Amino acid sequence: MNLKLLGAALVVLATLVSNPLWAEEASAGDRTATGGAQTLEDIMARQEQLKVDESFRSENLGDPANAAPSTDQLGTNGGLSNSDVYRAIRYNEADVRTQARTPAATVLIQDGGMPWYKLREGPLITYGGLALLGIIALLAVFYLIRGRIKIDGGPAGTTIERFKAIERFGHWLLAGSFIALGITGLITLMGRSFLIPVLGPEAYATLAAGSKWLHNNIAWAFMLGLVMTFSMWVVHNIPNKLDWQWIKAGGGIFTKSHPPAKKFNAGQKIIFWTVMLLGFSVSLSGLSLLFPFEMPMFAKTFGIINSVLGTDLPAVLAPHEEMQYANIWHSIVAFVMMVAIIAHIYIGSVGMEGAFDAMGKGHVDLEWARQHHDLWVAEVEAKQGKGGSS
Ligand code: HEM
């Protein structure tokens, strides 16, 4: 993903989290009954994600001396509530000191929770879910139209080594962990909407706790698989002129031709770089979620993007906002990866005759290899000084 695209994605993300696009303006309402303080309607409107004009309280912090309790201890007022103090805390005008020494200790009020929650329960589940169902439907239609991609003229019967055991181990470590992370991640994200109504809260609580535990621990296997496959295959995935030819020919998928390719064709390189770059990003945001408040990265990233693209992303974020961004970004990236990987799984199994053997047995039929990776076969044969082995 180039920087401009990444910047645009983050601008959309920042807008969604801090200022939901779908929010309608709430009517100002009559606050005379509360002496100018917020009304029940204001609270309800905020929970409904309506935009509330906050100026009636953000511009009403009272006496600045009173509103900045830099030396006073909170809680010494007994039953008395000092609204000026709480408004000052809410709008970050109070110099708060606490005895707790955790990274987020000085944030007493952070009101990004509802927008984050609504974004997660609403558009994220809806569009993410639709993307998964969409790619499955698209592949089903593709299968009906194109059918299984066969080896022209049938298999040769002799084979050639495609992946060594260590490469297959790396692939299956990555693949197995990714699938487990995808399933447990979806259970965590969608459970409240889809599983609690079916399983009930008690059974779901057990499932959710198990999913979270698995998700947090399997993540390490995924990262190891990512490093292994990256280091073993990056040399074969450097883009070159051939890739452009392959893309122009649409991979030969519809014309039923076989554009020349080395070890990996352009389609596979796209999968490789999607998995590596998004895998890196999903791992980083995942680590940031795994160690709350210890790895803030969005304010810094937004700052860099602002300086490069001249955008106006928030470069100062409360620790909780960092966590909200990390959570939403982690899910968006995971959905994009899942869509790409579902297509990859299709083409590596039912979609193409002879493909699965590459990762299943490590050896592929020579005719399959000649049709899909002719230049790679020529390289291997030149090195060996002979044809394929059986
Ligand atoms: C059941 C699931 C899967 C199957 C059947 C499968 C199958 C395959 C096959 C057959 C190849 C080798 C293609 C060739 O010989 O050229 C391959 C390569 C690869 N796989 Fe998978 N795979 C699966 C899941 C995954 C997952 C979950 C990931 C990553 C998260 C992944 C990442 C890759 C990458 C990066 C490559 C090398 C580039 C490419 O061929 O596209 N695979 N896979």
112-150 tens-digit pLDDT: 888 899 999 999 999 999 999 999 999 999 999 999 999
pLDDT of residue 163: 98
Whole-angstrom distance, CA of residue 214 vs CA of residue 184: 7
Flag whether pLDDT at 14 surpasses 60: yes
Q: Could you tell me if the CB of 349 is within 6 A of ligand 1?
A: yes
Flag whether pLDDT at 56 surpasses 50: yes
Whole-angstrom distance, CA of residue 245 vs CA of residue 381: 24
Whole-angstrom distance, CA of residue 119 vs CA of residue 121: 6
Ligand 1 atom with the smallest distance to the CA of 357 is: 10
pTM above 0.75?
yes
C-beta atoms surrounding 262 within 10 Å: 17
CB 236 within 8 A of CB 264: yes
Query: How is residue 203 written in tokens?
Result: 């059974």
Q: Which amino acid is at 240?
A: N
Ligand 1 atom with the smallest distance to the CA of 356 is: 10
Ligand 1 atom with the smallest distance to the CA of 229 is: 35
Q: Could you tell me if the CB of 264 is within 6 A of ligand 1?
A: yes
The predicted model gives 151-180 an average pLDDT of 97
Whole-angstrom distance, CA of residue 94 vs CA of residue 68: 4
Highest mean pLDDT among 18-27, 85-94, 268-277: 268-277
Sequence-ordered alpha helix ranges (H) in 147-240: 165-190, 196-199, 201-233
156 Cα: distance to centroid of ligand 1 (angstroms): 23
Work out the pLDDT band at 386, boundaries 50, 70, 90: low
Question: For the ranges 78-82, 235-239, 271-275, 333-337, which has the lowest average pLDDT?
Answer: 78-82
Q: Could you tell me if the CB of 369 is within 6 A of ligand 1?
A: no
pLDDT of residue 72: 53
Task: Using the CB atoms, write b or e for 136-154: b if 16+ within 10 Å.
Answer: eeebeebeeeeeebebeee
Mean of per-residue pLDDT scores for the chain: 89
Q: Could you tell me if the CB of 261 is within 6 A of ligand 1?
A: no
pLDDT of residue 16: 61
Ligand 1 atom with the smallest distance to the CA of 337 is: 30
Highest mean pLDDT among 26-30, 92-96, 107-111: 107-111
Q: Could you tell me if the CB of 272 is within 6 A of ligand 1?
A: yes
Flag whether pLDDT at 23 surpasses 90: no
Q: Could you tell me if the CB of 251 is within 6 A of ligand 1?
A: no
Whole-angstrom distance, CA of residue 100 vs CA of residue 318: 17
- CA diameter of the chain: 92
Mutate to test the pocket of ligand 1, among 227, 280, 359, 380 (most ligand atoms within 8 A of CB): 359
271 Cα: distance to centroid of ligand 1 (angstroms): 9
Which residues does 180 contact at the CB level (< 8 Å), separation at least 6?
214, 215, 218
254-265 tens-digit pLDDT: 888 899 999 999
